[in-house]
Amino acid sequence: MKNGDRCLFRPILPEDEPQLLAFIAQVTKEDLYYRYFSEINEFTHDDLANMTQIDYDREMAFVAVRTSAEKSEILGVTRAISDPIILTPSLPFWSVQI
Q: CB-hemisphere CA count at 13 Å for 47?
A: 10
d(CA 23, CA 2) in angstroms, rounded, equals: 21
Angle, CA 12 vertex, CA 6 and CA 16 arms, to 5°: 80
Domain 6-97 class in CATH:
alpha beta
- Model pLDDT for residues 20-58, shown as the tens digit of each residue: 999 999 888 877 767 666 777 788 999 999 999 998 888
For 37, left (φ over 0), alpha (ψ -120 to 50), or beta? left
Domain ranges of the chain: 6-97
d(CA 83, CA 92) in angstroms, rounded, equals: 7
**Would you state the pLDDT for residue 66?**
92
Give the pTM. 0.74
Compute the chain's Rg from CA coordinates.
14
SS3 32: helix
pLDDT at residue 94 greater than cutoff 60 = no
